[in-house]
């Protein structure tokens, strides 16, 4: 991101500015088209985006762009972003992920996270889209539409629930309660 003398590389600054302008333009168009109808329904509209990609020859980048137009970038300490309803699925990501995790395990973790959110929040539901872009390929390697009939997601949902119940049962009850 920085040159040897500490200056921000120009194409990153241009890219971030472009992202912000794209978001602003999309939100303005939405407000022009649907603002009055949303207001009549008592809906205050805003949006945040997660945008990732790679400029050929550079490392992959991940940005979270906020409704106000400002953004942050993923770092070694914050290697992922999650928007929307995050309180249910985030704990699994925080406990399991690591930067060296294989892509297949990261996808599995993301699906478990989404299943936890779907199970605990009625406003979140299938379908899900899972898109894989491998480093230095600069193209979509895989896109899976995950609906209620997806066998892998059904297996994850059942096996994860059972594994949690087994782990819970294996833990001892607190002995300081004085009850059984």
Q: What is the pLDDT of residue 152?
A: 97
Question: Do the strands 61-65 and 49-53 form a parallel or antiparallel pair, or are they unpaired?
Answer: antiparallel
71: confidence class by pLDDT, cuts 50, 70, 90: confident
What phi and psi values does residue 132 have, to the nearest 5 degrees?
-115, 125
pTM recorded for the entire structure: 0.74
pLDDT attached to residue 11: 61
| Confidence band for 1, pLDDT divided at 50, 70 and 90 | very low
pLDDT by residue (tens digit) across 141-155? 999 999 999 999 999
Look at phi and psi of residue 42 and say left if phi exceeds 0, alpha if psi is from -120 to 50, else beta: left
pLDDT at 3 over 80: no
76, HSE (Cβ side, Cα atoms, 13 Å) = 0
Give residue-wise pLDDT tens across range 20-70: 677 778 777 887 898 888 889 888 777 788 888 888 888 888 888 887 777
103-120 and 151-170 are packed helices; what angle lies between their axes, rounded to 10 degrees?
Answer: 80
């Amino acid at each position: 991101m920085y040159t040897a003398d500490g200056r921000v590389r120009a194409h990153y600054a241009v890219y971030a500015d472009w992202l912000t302008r794209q978001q602003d333009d999309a939100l303005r168009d939405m407000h022009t088209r649907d603002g009055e109808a949303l207001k009549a329904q008592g809906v205050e509209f805003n949006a945040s985006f997660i945008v990732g990609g790679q400029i050929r020859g550079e490392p992959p980048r991940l940005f979270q762009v906020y409704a106000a137009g400002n953004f942050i970038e993923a770092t070694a300490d914050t290697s992922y972003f999650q928007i929307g309803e995050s309180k249910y699925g985030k704990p699994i990501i925080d406990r399991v992920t690591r930067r060296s995790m294989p892509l297949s395990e990261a996808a599995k973790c993301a699906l478990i996270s989404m299943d936890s959110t779907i199970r605990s929040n009625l406003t979140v539901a299938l379908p899900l889209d899972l898109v894989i872009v491998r480093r230095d390929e600069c193209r979509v390697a895989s896109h899976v539409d995950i609906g209620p009939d997806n066998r892998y997601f059904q297996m994850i949902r059942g096996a994860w629930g059972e594994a949690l119940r087994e782990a819970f049962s294996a833990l001892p009850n607190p002995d300081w309660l004085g009850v059984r």
